[in-house]
Structure 1
Protein backbone atom coordinates (compact mmCIF):
# COMPACT_ATOMS: atom_id res chain seq x y z
CA UNK A 1 0.00 0.00 0.00
CA UNK A 2 1.39 3.40 -1.02
CA UNK A 3 1.76 5.79 1.87
CA UNK A 4 0.53 9.33 1.28
CA UNK A 5 3.11 12.09 1.55
CA UNK A 6 0.62 14.89 2.20
CA UNK A 7 -2.82 14.94 3.81
CA UNK A 8 -5.43 17.65 3.27
CA UNK A 9 -7.59 16.02 5.91
CA UNK A 10 -6.47 13.92 8.87
CA UNK A 11 -7.45 10.27 8.84
CA UNK A 12 -9.53 9.64 11.97
CA UNK A 13 -10.64 6.10 11.22
CA UNK A 14 -10.00 3.62 14.02
CA UNK A 15 -7.09 1.33 13.23
CA UNK A 16 -4.85 -1.16 14.97
CA UNK A 17 -1.33 -0.25 16.10
CA UNK A 18 0.12 -2.56 13.44
CA UNK A 19 -1.50 -0.45 10.72
CA UNK A 20 -0.22 2.97 11.76
CA UNK A 21 1.21 4.87 14.74
CA UNK A 22 2.55 8.39 14.28
CA UNK A 23 5.95 8.81 15.92
CA UNK A 24 6.15 12.59 15.55
CA UNK A 25 5.16 15.47 13.30
CA UNK A 26 7.47 14.35 10.50
CA UNK A 27 5.83 10.94 10.21
CA UNK A 28 4.05 10.67 6.86
CA UNK A 29 1.62 11.90 5.81
CA UNK A 30 2.56 15.51 6.47
CA UNK A 31 -0.35 17.86 7.16
CA UNK A 32 -1.16 20.52 4.58
CA UNK A 33 -1.51 23.12 7.38
CA UNK A 34 1.94 22.14 8.64
CA UNK A 35 3.41 22.94 5.23
CA UNK A 36 1.31 26.08 4.95
CA UNK A 37 2.67 27.44 8.23
CA UNK A 38 6.23 26.79 7.02
CA UNK A 39 5.74 28.63 3.72
CA UNK A 40 3.92 31.55 5.35
CA UNK A 41 6.82 31.98 7.76
CA UNK A 42 9.30 31.91 4.86
CA UNK A 43 7.26 34.51 2.95
CA UNK A 44 7.13 36.87 5.96
CA UNK A 45 10.88 36.60 6.48
CA UNK A 46 11.53 37.13 2.76
CA UNK A 47 9.29 40.22 2.62
CA UNK A 48 11.11 41.79 5.57
CA UNK A 49 14.48 41.22 3.92
CA UNK A 50 13.29 42.54 0.54
CA UNK A 51 11.64 45.66 2.00
CA UNK A 52 14.62 46.55 4.20
CA UNK A 53 16.97 46.05 1.22
CA UNK A 54 19.83 44.83 3.42
CA UNK A 55 20.43 48.26 4.94
CA UNK A 56 23.84 48.31 6.64
CA UNK A 57 23.25 51.28 8.95
CA UNK A 58 23.95 50.51 12.62
CA UNK A 59 20.32 50.66 13.69
CA UNK A 60 19.37 48.22 10.94
CA UNK A 61 22.22 45.87 11.83
CA UNK A 62 20.85 45.70 15.38
CA UNK A 63 17.45 45.02 13.87
CA UNK A 64 18.85 42.15 11.78
CA UNK A 65 20.54 40.62 14.83
CA UNK A 66 17.34 40.69 16.89
CA UNK A 67 15.35 39.49 13.90
CA UNK A 68 17.81 36.63 13.33
CA UNK A 69 17.72 35.54 16.97
CA UNK A 70 13.92 35.37 16.89
CA UNK A 71 13.99 33.30 13.71
CA UNK A 72 16.52 30.83 15.15
CA UNK A 73 14.46 30.41 18.35
CA UNK A 74 11.24 29.90 16.37
CA UNK A 75 12.86 27.27 14.13
CA UNK A 76 14.43 25.49 17.13
CA UNK A 77 11.18 25.41 19.12
CA UNK A 78 9.13 24.37 16.08
CA UNK A 79 11.53 21.52 15.39
CA UNK A 80 11.47 20.43 19.04
CA UNK A 81 7.66 20.47 19.31
CA UNK A 82 7.37 18.58 16.03
CA UNK A 83 10.00 15.89 16.67
CA UNK A 84 9.23 15.01 20.30
CA UNK A 85 7.14 11.86 20.63
CA UNK A 86 4.58 12.61 23.40
CA UNK A 87 3.37 9.00 23.63
CA UNK A 88 2.42 7.56 27.02
CA UNK A 89 5.51 5.65 28.26
CA UNK A 90 3.33 2.67 29.17
CA UNK A 91 1.68 2.39 25.74
CA UNK A 92 1.89 -1.08 24.20
CA UNK A 93 3.96 -2.42 27.12
CA UNK A 94 1.15 -4.51 28.59
CA UNK A 95 0.52 -5.98 25.17
CA UNK A 96 4.13 -7.12 25.19
CA UNK A 97 3.97 -8.28 28.83
CA UNK A 98 6.14 -5.45 30.16
CA UNK A 99 3.76 -4.22 32.89
CA UNK A 100 3.28 -5.92 36.25
CA UNK A 101 -0.27 -7.11 36.95
CA UNK A 102 -0.32 -5.45 40.40
CA UNK A 103 0.31 -2.04 38.81
CA UNK A 104 -2.75 -2.22 36.56
CA UNK A 105 -5.30 -1.13 39.19
CA UNK A 106 -4.11 2.49 39.05
CA UNK A 107 -4.05 2.63 35.25
CA UNK A 108 -6.56 3.15 32.45
CA UNK A 109 -7.11 0.72 29.61
CA UNK A 110 -7.08 1.47 25.89
CA UNK A 111 -8.07 -1.32 23.51
CA UNK A 112 -5.26 -0.28 21.15
CA UNK A 113 -2.44 0.89 23.43
CA UNK A 114 -3.10 -1.37 26.42
CA UNK A 115 -2.82 0.09 29.91
CA UNK A 116 -1.79 3.74 30.18
CA UNK A 117 -1.59 6.56 32.72
CA UNK A 118 -4.92 8.07 33.96
CA UNK A 119 -4.33 11.46 32.26
CA UNK A 120 -3.47 9.93 28.90
CA UNK A 121 -5.90 10.15 25.99
CA UNK A 122 -5.99 8.32 22.67
CA UNK A 123 -5.59 10.48 19.55
CA UNK A 124 -7.21 9.15 16.38
CA UNK A 125 -4.85 11.04 14.10
CA UNK A 126 -1.67 9.72 15.73
CA UNK A 127 -3.31 6.43 16.80
CA UNK A 128 -1.61 6.40 20.19
CA UNK A 129 -2.22 7.44 23.78
CA UNK A 130 -0.51 10.68 24.71
CA UNK A 131 0.73 11.37 28.24
CA UNK A 132 -1.19 14.31 29.82
CA UNK A 133 -2.88 14.92 26.48
CA UNK A 134 -3.55 18.58 25.63
CA UNK A 135 -4.55 18.57 21.96
CA UNK A 136 -3.55 17.46 18.48
CA UNK A 137 -2.00 20.41 16.65
CA UNK A 138 -2.41 20.44 12.88
CA UNK A 139 0.24 23.17 12.52
CA UNK A 140 3.03 20.86 13.72
CA UNK A 141 1.27 17.62 12.75
CA UNK A 142 1.84 16.26 16.24
CA UNK A 143 0.07 15.81 19.55
CA UNK A 144 0.83 18.24 22.35
CA UNK A 145 1.25 16.55 25.71
CA UNK A 146 3.40 16.36 28.82
CA UNK A 147 6.69 15.97 26.95
CA UNK A 148 6.38 18.89 24.53
CA UNK A 149 3.80 21.24 26.06
CA UNK A 150 6.33 23.68 27.55
CA UNK A 151 8.08 23.98 24.19
CA UNK A 152 4.71 24.56 22.50
CA UNK A 153 3.87 27.42 24.88
CA UNK A 154 7.39 28.78 24.39
CA UNK A 155 6.84 28.72 20.63
CA UNK A 156 3.56 30.64 20.98
CA UNK A 157 5.31 33.21 23.18
CA UNK A 158 8.14 33.81 20.71
CA UNK A 159 5.73 33.89 17.76
CA UNK A 160 3.68 36.56 19.54
CA UNK A 161 6.83 38.64 20.06
CA UNK A 162 7.81 38.06 16.42
CA UNK A 163 4.40 39.18 15.13
CA UNK A 164 4.50 42.35 17.26
CA UNK A 165 8.02 42.99 15.98
CA UNK A 166 6.86 42.69 12.35
CA UNK A 167 4.01 45.14 13.02
CA UNK A 168 6.56 47.58 14.45
CA UNK A 169 8.77 47.05 11.40
CA UNK A 170 5.87 47.88 9.05
CA UNK A 171 4.96 51.04 10.96
CA UNK A 172 8.56 52.29 11.13
CA UNK A 173 9.22 51.72 7.43
CA UNK A 174 5.92 53.33 6.48
CA UNK A 175 6.74 56.46 8.49
CA UNK A 176 10.32 56.59 7.17
CA UNK A 177 9.10 56.26 3.58
CA UNK A 178 6.84 59.30 4.02
CA UNK A 179 9.33 61.62 5.73
CA UNK A 180 12.76 60.60 4.44
CA UNK A 181 14.51 59.40 1.28
CA UNK A 182 16.50 56.76 3.20
CA UNK A 183 14.53 53.79 1.87
CA UNK A 184 14.33 55.21 -1.65
CA UNK A 185 18.11 55.70 -1.78
CA UNK A 186 18.75 52.25 -0.34
CA UNK A 187 16.48 50.61 -2.90
CA UNK A 188 18.22 52.49 -5.73
CA UNK A 189 21.61 51.38 -4.43
CA UNK A 190 20.64 47.74 -3.89
CA UNK A 191 18.04 47.10 -6.61
CA UNK A 192 19.03 49.76 -9.12
CA UNK A 193 15.72 51.59 -8.84
CA UNK A 194 12.75 52.44 -6.65
CA UNK A 195 9.02 52.18 -7.25
CA UNK A 196 6.54 53.66 -4.77
CA UNK A 197 3.72 51.33 -5.78
CA UNK A 198 5.85 48.18 -5.47
CA UNK A 199 7.22 49.25 -2.09
CA UNK A 200 3.78 49.89 -0.59
CA UNK A 201 2.32 46.72 -2.11
CA UNK A 202 5.06 44.68 -0.45
CA UNK A 203 4.66 46.56 2.83
CA UNK A 204 0.87 46.12 2.86
CA UNK A 205 1.20 42.44 1.95
CA UNK A 206 3.54 41.93 4.88
CA UNK A 207 1.20 43.78 7.24
CA UNK A 208 -1.89 41.80 6.17
CA UNK A 209 -0.13 38.41 6.16
CA UNK A 210 1.45 39.03 9.55
CA UNK A 211 -1.88 40.29 10.89
CA UNK A 212 -3.62 37.09 9.83
CA UNK A 213 -1.00 34.98 11.58
CA UNK A 214 -1.14 37.23 14.64
CA UNK A 215 -4.91 36.70 15.04
CA UNK A 216 -4.39 32.92 15.12
CA UNK A 217 -1.33 33.02 17.36
CA UNK A 218 -2.69 35.48 19.92
CA UNK A 219 -5.85 33.39 20.36
CA UNK A 220 -3.78 30.29 21.04
CA UNK A 221 -1.38 32.18 23.28
CA UNK A 222 -4.17 33.77 25.31
CA UNK A 223 -6.00 30.47 25.61
CA UNK A 224 -2.99 28.60 26.94
CA UNK A 225 -2.09 31.34 29.41
CA UNK A 226 -5.65 31.02 30.69
CA UNK A 227 -5.42 27.21 30.81
CA UNK A 228 -2.10 27.32 32.66
CA UNK A 229 -3.60 29.68 35.24
CA UNK A 230 -6.49 27.22 35.70
CA UNK A 231 -4.17 24.19 35.66
CA UNK A 232 -6.21 22.61 32.88
CA UNK A 233 -5.42 21.00 29.55
CA UNK A 234 -7.18 22.00 26.34
CA UNK A 235 -8.91 18.61 26.32
CA UNK A 236 -10.21 19.07 29.87
CA UNK A 237 -11.42 22.57 28.99
CA UNK A 238 -13.29 21.32 25.94
CA UNK A 239 -14.90 18.48 27.89
CA UNK A 240 -15.94 20.92 30.60
CA UNK A 241 -17.46 23.31 28.06
CA UNK A 242 -19.23 20.48 26.25
CA UNK A 243 -21.04 19.73 29.52
CA UNK A 244 -22.06 23.34 29.97
CA UNK A 245 -25.72 24.12 29.33
CA UNK A 246 -24.71 27.64 28.42
CA UNK A 247 -22.50 26.41 25.60
CA UNK A 248 -25.25 24.17 24.28
CA UNK A 249 -27.63 27.15 24.14
CA UNK A 250 -25.36 29.61 22.39
CA UNK A 251 -23.56 27.01 20.26
CA UNK A 252 -20.02 28.23 20.74
CA UNK A 253 -17.75 26.90 18.01
CA UNK A 254 -14.01 26.80 18.15
CA UNK A 255 -11.73 28.54 15.69
CA UNK A 256 -8.07 27.82 16.29
CA UNK A 257 -7.52 24.08 16.15
CA UNK A 258 -8.87 20.70 15.16
CA UNK A 259 -8.77 18.26 18.07
CA UNK A 260 -9.50 14.74 17.09
CA UNK A 261 -9.70 12.30 19.92
CA UNK A 262 -10.69 8.69 19.89
CA UNK A 263 -14.04 7.87 21.39
CA UNK A 264 -12.87 7.17 24.86
CA UNK A 265 -11.64 3.68 24.99
CA UNK A 266 -9.86 4.53 28.20
CA UNK A 267 -11.60 3.21 31.28
CA UNK A 268 -10.62 2.79 34.90
CA UNK A 269 -9.55 -0.75 35.69
CA UNK A 270 -11.61 -0.74 38.86
CA UNK A 271 -14.64 0.72 36.98
CA UNK A 272 -15.17 3.36 39.69
CA UNK A 273 -15.07 6.46 37.50
CA UNK A 274 -16.21 6.45 33.89
CA UNK A 275 -17.38 10.01 33.44
CA UNK A 276 -14.91 12.10 31.44
CA UNK A 277 -13.00 9.07 30.25
CA UNK A 278 -15.96 7.81 28.19
CA UNK A 279 -16.67 11.09 26.40
CA UNK A 280 -16.20 11.46 22.67
CA UNK A 281 -15.02 14.63 21.06
CA UNK A 282 -14.97 14.28 17.30
CA UNK A 283 -13.97 17.70 16.00
CA UNK A 284 -13.33 21.00 17.66
CA UNK A 285 -12.60 23.94 15.42
CA UNK A 286 -11.64 26.62 17.99
CA UNK A 287 -11.96 27.80 21.54
CA UNK A 288 -13.47 31.20 21.83
CA UNK A 289 -14.94 33.02 24.80
Structure 2
Protein backbone atom coordinates (compact mmCIF):
# COMPACT_ATOMS: atom_id res chain seq x y z
CA UNK A 1 0.00 0.00 0.00
CA UNK A 2 1.31 3.42 -0.89
CA UNK A 3 0.27 7.06 -0.66
CA UNK A 4 0.58 9.49 -3.54
CA UNK A 5 -1.32 12.34 -5.22
CA UNK A 6 -2.06 14.41 -2.10
CA UNK A 7 -2.52 11.61 0.40
CA UNK A 8 -4.52 9.09 -1.62
CA UNK A 9 -4.31 5.54 -0.31
CA UNK A 10 -3.30 3.14 -3.10
CA UNK A 11 -3.95 -0.51 -2.35
CA UNK A 12 -2.23 -3.67 -3.57
CA UNK A 13 -4.34 -6.38 -5.26
CA UNK A 14 -4.32 -8.39 -2.03
CA UNK A 15 -5.55 -5.39 -0.09
CA UNK A 16 -8.31 -4.77 -2.62
CA UNK A 17 -9.28 -8.42 -2.10
CA UNK A 18 -9.61 -7.60 1.60
CA UNK A 19 -11.91 -4.74 0.70
CA UNK A 20 -13.96 -7.11 -1.45
CA UNK A 21 -14.51 -9.31 1.60
CA UNK A 22 -15.80 -6.29 3.54
CA UNK A 23 -17.88 -5.26 0.53
CA UNK A 24 -19.57 -8.63 0.33
CA UNK A 25 -20.55 -8.41 4.00
CA UNK A 26 -22.07 -4.99 3.32
CA UNK A 27 -23.86 -6.16 0.17
CA UNK A 28 -25.28 -9.25 1.86
CA UNK A 29 -26.41 -7.21 4.87
CA UNK A 30 -28.19 -4.68 2.66
CA UNK A 31 -30.01 -7.42 0.79
CA UNK A 32 -31.12 -8.89 4.12
CA UNK A 33 -32.34 -5.46 5.21
CA UNK A 34 -34.12 -4.88 1.90
CA UNK A 35 -36.10 -8.05 2.46
CA UNK A 36 -36.78 -7.06 6.09
CA UNK A 37 -38.26 -3.63 5.36
CA UNK A 38 -42.03 -3.61 5.93
CA UNK A 39 -44.71 -1.49 7.51
CA UNK A 40 -44.59 -1.98 11.28
CA UNK A 41 -40.87 -2.63 11.69
CA UNK A 42 -38.80 -0.06 13.55
CA UNK A 43 -35.52 1.38 12.39
CA UNK A 44 -34.00 0.04 15.61
CA UNK A 45 -35.08 -3.48 14.67
CA UNK A 46 -33.43 -3.08 11.28
CA UNK A 47 -30.27 -1.94 13.06
CA UNK A 48 -30.27 -5.05 15.23
CA UNK A 49 -30.67 -7.27 12.15
CA UNK A 50 -27.74 -5.50 10.49
CA UNK A 51 -25.40 -5.69 13.47
CA UNK A 52 -26.12 -9.38 14.00
CA UNK A 53 -25.45 -10.20 10.35
CA UNK A 54 -22.26 -8.12 10.17
CA UNK A 55 -20.79 -9.62 13.34
CA UNK A 56 -21.84 -13.18 12.48
CA UNK A 57 -19.96 -12.71 9.20
CA UNK A 58 -16.74 -12.04 11.09
CA UNK A 59 -16.83 -8.29 10.51
CA UNK A 60 -17.38 -5.18 12.62
CA UNK A 61 -19.93 -2.43 11.90
CA UNK A 62 -18.04 0.62 10.60
CA UNK A 63 -20.59 3.12 11.82
CA UNK A 64 -21.09 2.04 15.41
CA UNK A 65 -19.14 4.44 17.61
CA UNK A 66 -17.86 6.44 14.62
CA UNK A 67 -17.55 9.96 16.09
CA UNK A 68 -20.13 8.77 18.62
CA UNK A 69 -22.74 7.48 16.17
CA UNK A 70 -24.90 5.00 18.11
CA UNK A 71 -26.09 2.67 15.32
CA UNK A 72 -24.67 0.02 13.03
CA UNK A 73 -26.53 1.50 10.07
CA UNK A 74 -27.95 4.89 9.14
CA UNK A 75 -31.71 4.88 8.61
CA UNK A 76 -33.07 7.99 6.90
CA UNK A 77 -36.81 8.16 6.22
CA UNK A 78 -38.65 10.32 3.67
CA UNK A 79 -37.24 13.88 3.93
CA UNK A 80 -34.25 12.62 5.93
CA UNK A 81 -31.44 12.36 3.40
CA UNK A 82 -28.55 10.75 5.30
CA UNK A 83 -27.20 9.93 8.77
CA UNK A 84 -30.54 9.11 10.38
CA UNK A 85 -30.12 7.40 13.76
CA UNK A 86 -31.95 4.07 14.11
CA UNK A 87 -34.33 3.79 17.04
CA UNK A 88 -38.02 3.71 17.81
CA UNK A 89 -39.38 5.10 14.55
CA UNK A 90 -41.80 2.61 13.02
CA UNK A 91 -42.03 2.44 9.25
CA UNK A 92 -45.44 2.97 7.67
CA UNK A 93 -46.92 2.06 4.31
CA UNK A 94 -45.79 4.64 1.76
CA UNK A 95 -42.52 5.58 3.48
CA UNK A 96 -39.12 5.36 1.83
CA UNK A 97 -36.01 4.57 3.82
CA UNK A 98 -32.36 5.04 2.95
CA UNK A 99 -30.20 2.41 4.63
CA UNK A 100 -26.46 3.12 4.72
CA UNK A 101 -24.23 0.27 5.88
CA UNK A 102 -20.51 -0.15 6.51
CA UNK A 103 -18.38 -3.08 7.65
CA UNK A 104 -14.74 -3.70 8.50
CA UNK A 105 -13.00 -7.03 7.91
CA UNK A 106 -9.45 -7.81 9.04
CA UNK A 107 -6.77 -9.31 6.79
CA UNK A 108 -4.12 -11.80 7.88
CA UNK A 109 -1.99 -9.01 9.36
CA UNK A 110 -4.93 -7.67 11.37
CA UNK A 111 -5.38 -4.57 9.23
CA UNK A 112 -9.03 -3.67 8.86
CA UNK A 113 -10.57 -2.87 5.47
CA UNK A 114 -13.82 -1.00 4.93
CA UNK A 115 -16.82 -1.45 2.69
CA UNK A 116 -19.60 1.16 2.43
CA UNK A 117 -22.87 1.11 0.47
CA UNK A 118 -26.44 2.35 0.66
CA UNK A 119 -29.85 1.56 -0.79
CA UNK A 120 -33.22 3.29 -0.68
CA UNK A 121 -36.24 1.03 -0.21
CA UNK A 122 -39.94 1.76 -0.59
CA UNK A 123 -42.27 0.55 2.16
CA UNK A 124 -45.13 -0.87 0.13
CA UNK A 125 -46.60 1.43 -2.50
CA UNK A 126 -45.21 4.96 -2.85
CA UNK A 127 -46.16 7.82 -5.21
CA UNK A 128 -44.91 7.55 -8.77
CA UNK A 129 -42.68 10.59 -8.36
CA UNK A 130 -40.90 8.88 -5.47
CA UNK A 131 -40.43 5.67 -7.45
CA UNK A 132 -38.99 7.79 -10.25
CA UNK A 133 -36.67 9.60 -7.82
CA UNK A 134 -35.31 6.27 -6.63
CA UNK A 135 -34.78 5.08 -10.20
CA UNK A 136 -32.96 8.24 -11.22
CA UNK A 137 -30.72 8.20 -8.15
CA UNK A 138 -29.69 4.58 -8.54
CA UNK A 139 -29.09 4.99 -12.26
CA UNK A 140 -26.97 8.08 -11.56
CA UNK A 141 -24.79 6.00 -9.25
CA UNK A 142 -24.11 3.49 -12.01
CA UNK A 143 -23.52 6.17 -14.61
CA UNK A 144 -20.95 7.71 -12.27
CA UNK A 145 -19.12 4.44 -11.75
CA UNK A 146 -19.40 3.69 -15.46
CA UNK A 147 -17.62 6.94 -16.34
CA UNK A 148 -14.51 6.01 -14.35
CA UNK A 149 -11.45 4.97 -16.38
CA UNK A 150 -7.82 4.43 -15.44
CA UNK A 151 -6.05 7.70 -16.23
CA UNK A 152 -9.24 9.71 -15.90
CA UNK A 153 -10.10 12.16 -13.13
CA UNK A 154 -12.38 12.00 -10.12
CA UNK A 155 -14.80 14.60 -11.46
CA UNK A 156 -15.45 12.46 -14.52
CA UNK A 157 -17.59 10.51 -12.05
CA UNK A 158 -19.15 13.69 -10.66
CA UNK A 159 -20.06 14.99 -14.11
CA UNK A 160 -21.64 11.70 -15.13
CA UNK A 161 -23.80 11.61 -11.99
CA UNK A 162 -24.99 15.17 -12.48
CA UNK A 163 -25.56 14.79 -16.22
CA UNK A 164 -27.78 11.77 -15.74
CA UNK A 165 -29.83 13.43 -13.00
CA UNK A 166 -30.27 16.63 -15.03
CA UNK A 167 -31.35 14.62 -18.08
CA UNK A 168 -34.18 13.03 -16.10
CA UNK A 169 -35.97 16.09 -14.70
CA UNK A 170 -35.77 18.78 -12.06
CA UNK A 171 -34.14 17.37 -8.94
CA UNK A 172 -31.99 18.67 -6.10
CA UNK A 173 -28.42 17.32 -5.97
CA UNK A 174 -26.81 17.68 -2.57
CA UNK A 175 -23.52 19.57 -2.66
CA UNK A 176 -22.58 19.61 1.03
CA UNK A 177 -22.43 15.79 1.25
CA UNK A 178 -20.32 13.81 -1.19
CA UNK A 179 -18.69 10.47 -1.90
CA UNK A 180 -15.19 9.70 -0.69
CA UNK A 181 -12.09 7.58 -0.79
CA UNK A 182 -12.15 4.46 1.33
CA UNK A 183 -9.79 1.72 2.52
CA UNK A 184 -8.14 1.49 5.94
CA UNK A 185 -10.59 4.18 7.00
CA UNK A 186 -14.20 4.73 6.02
CA UNK A 187 -13.72 8.35 4.90
CA UNK A 188 -10.48 9.25 3.14
CA UNK A 189 -9.32 11.57 0.36
CA UNK A 190 -10.44 12.31 -2.26
CA UNK A 191 -13.93 13.75 -2.07
CA UNK A 192 -16.21 12.57 -4.88
CA UNK A 193 -18.86 15.24 -5.53
CA UNK A 194 -22.09 14.45 -7.38
CA UNK A 195 -21.80 17.52 -9.62
CA UNK A 196 -19.19 19.45 -11.55
CA UNK A 197 -17.12 19.64 -14.69
CA UNK A 198 -15.18 16.55 -15.82
CA UNK A 199 -11.41 16.26 -15.97
CA UNK A 200 -10.63 17.66 -12.54
CA UNK A 201 -9.37 16.27 -9.26
CA UNK A 202 -6.98 13.41 -8.60
CA UNK A 203 -6.21 10.94 -11.34
CA UNK A 204 -7.95 7.56 -11.25
CA UNK A 205 -5.31 4.89 -10.81
CA UNK A 206 -5.23 1.18 -10.09
CA UNK A 207 -5.50 0.51 -6.34
CA UNK A 208 -7.62 3.56 -5.55
CA UNK A 209 -11.01 2.72 -4.00
CA UNK A 210 -13.90 5.18 -3.99
CA UNK A 211 -17.40 5.31 -2.54
CA UNK A 212 -19.82 7.01 -4.94
CA UNK A 213 -23.11 8.11 -3.37
CA UNK A 214 -25.65 10.33 -5.11
CA UNK A 215 -28.08 12.03 -2.69
CA UNK A 216 -30.97 13.41 -4.72
CA UNK A 217 -34.19 15.18 -3.68
CA UNK A 218 -37.54 16.03 -5.18
CA UNK A 219 -36.95 19.68 -4.30
CA UNK A 220 -34.05 21.69 -2.94
CA UNK A 221 -30.40 20.78 -2.57
CA UNK A 222 -30.33 22.67 0.74
CA UNK A 223 -30.34 20.76 4.01
CA UNK A 224 -30.59 21.17 7.77
CA UNK A 225 -29.02 19.04 10.51
CA UNK A 226 -31.42 18.11 13.31
CA UNK A 227 -30.74 18.64 17.01
CA UNK A 228 -29.32 15.09 17.29
CA UNK A 229 -26.31 16.50 15.35
CA UNK A 230 -26.55 13.66 12.83
CA UNK A 231 -29.79 13.48 10.87
CA UNK A 232 -29.70 15.54 7.66
CA UNK A 233 -33.09 16.63 6.31
CA UNK A 234 -34.10 18.70 3.29
CA UNK A 235 -34.84 22.32 4.18
CA UNK A 236 -38.11 22.25 2.18
CA UNK A 237 -39.32 18.84 3.50
CA UNK A 238 -39.00 17.28 0.04
CA UNK A 239 -38.29 13.56 -0.03
CA UNK A 240 -34.89 12.16 -0.92
CA UNK A 241 -33.15 9.05 -2.20
CA UNK A 242 -29.60 7.83 -1.59
CA UNK A 243 -27.66 5.00 -3.23
CA UNK A 244 -24.00 4.14 -2.75
CA UNK A 245 -21.37 1.59 -3.78
CA UNK A 246 -17.65 1.14 -3.15
CA UNK A 247 -15.66 0.41 -6.30
CA UNK A 248 -12.17 0.21 -7.73
CA UNK A 249 -10.63 0.06 -11.20
CA UNK A 250 -8.60 -2.81 -12.60
CA UNK A 251 -6.93 -2.94 -16.03
CA UNK A 252 -10.09 -4.72 -17.25
CA UNK A 253 -12.55 -2.11 -15.98
CA UNK A 254 -14.67 -1.22 -12.94
CA UNK A 255 -15.13 -3.65 -10.07
CA UNK A 256 -17.89 -2.78 -7.58
CA UNK A 257 -16.71 -4.22 -4.29
CA UNK A 258 -20.05 -3.90 -2.46
CA UNK A 259 -22.22 -5.37 -5.24
CA UNK A 260 -22.79 -9.11 -4.87
CA UNK A 261 -22.05 -9.69 -8.57
CA UNK A 262 -19.25 -7.12 -8.57
CA UNK A 263 -21.43 -4.81 -10.62
CA UNK A 264 -21.26 -7.02 -13.71
CA UNK A 265 -24.94 -6.86 -14.64
CA UNK A 266 -25.36 -3.09 -14.27
CA UNK A 267 -22.07 -2.23 -15.93
CA UNK A 268 -22.71 -4.59 -18.83
CA UNK A 269 -26.15 -3.01 -19.33
CA UNK A 270 -24.39 0.36 -19.68
CA UNK A 271 -21.89 -1.07 -22.14
CA UNK A 272 -19.06 -0.56 -19.65
CA UNK A 273 -16.27 -3.13 -19.21
CA UNK A 274 -16.50 -5.20 -16.03
CA UNK A 275 -13.19 -5.44 -14.20
CA UNK A 276 -14.04 -7.84 -11.42
CA UNK A 277 -12.00 -10.79 -10.27
CA UNK A 278 -15.06 -12.90 -9.40
TM over 0.5: no
- Name whichever structure is richer in helix by fraction: 1
Greater C-alpha Rg: 1
Q: Which has the higher strand share?
A: 2
**Normalization by structure 2: what TM-score?**
0.25
The normalised TM-score by structure 1 is: 0.24
